[in-house]
Amino acid sequence: MKNAVAVLLMIIALDSVSFGDVLIIANKDVPETILSQKEVREIFLGKRVQWSDNSRIRFVVISNPELHSMFLKKYVRLPHVEWEIYWKRIVFTGRGMPPETINSETEMVEFISKKHGAVGYVSSGAKLENREIKIIGDQ
């Protein structure tokens, strides 16, 4: 029984660690310094489209399915399939454009550093030496 509890706790701990691995990063010109989980969700569901200075939000996602699913679970609180369905509903009713997909974390950092108003996410292991980006969410 003790072993079973220990294994369960270990699984929960590992899950918590993996949740903590997703960092929200943005172009340094973005006025916000920190985003809550709900604000990240609003942005990636296309509900909130402007930063507090009324500049355009450009959110991007990553093609890495593991990192993307982890991000969706932690911040958007949707399974990947439901996320796909949500954006089909938006796109096929003309209410928005789907987010651009970036191939790797290196490209994600590069894209966000160059694009005004851009926001995306990387794992905590990603190299973030670029001075043109900042971390605005690390729950």
Q: Enumerate binding residues for other proteins (CB under 8 A).
A: 38, 42, 47-50, 54-56, 77-82, 84-85, 88-89, 91-95, 97-98
Identity of the residue, 31 or 79, whose beta carbon is nearer to other proteins in the bound complex: 79
What minimum distance in Å lies between the beta carbon of 125 and other proteins? 26
Residues 69 and 61 sit within 8 Å (Cβ to Cβ): no
Q: Cα separation of 84 and 80, whole Å?
A: 6
Nearest to 45 by CA among 70, 23, 72: 72
Nearer to other proteins, 47 or 114 (CB): 47
Q: Which of residues 6 and 49 has its CB atom nearest to other proteins in the complex?
A: 49
Backbone φ, ψ for residue 26 (5° rounding): -140, 160
Q: Closest distance between other proteins and the C-beta of residue 95, in Å?
A: 8
Question: What is the C-alpha separation between 137 and 30, in angstroms, rounded?
Answer: 13
Q: How far apart are CA 117 and CA 43, in angstroms?
A: 12
Smallest distance, other proteins to C-beta of residue 106, A: 21
What is the closest distance, in whole angstroms, from the C-beta atom of residue 1 to other proteins in the complex? 28
DSSP, collapsed to helix, strand or coil, labels residue 36 as: coil
Kindly state the smallest distance separating residue 3's Cβ from other proteins, in Å.
28
The two tokens of residue 77 are 């609180």
Cβ distance to other proteins smaller for residue 16 or 82: 82
CB nearer other proteins, residue 6 or residue 77: 77
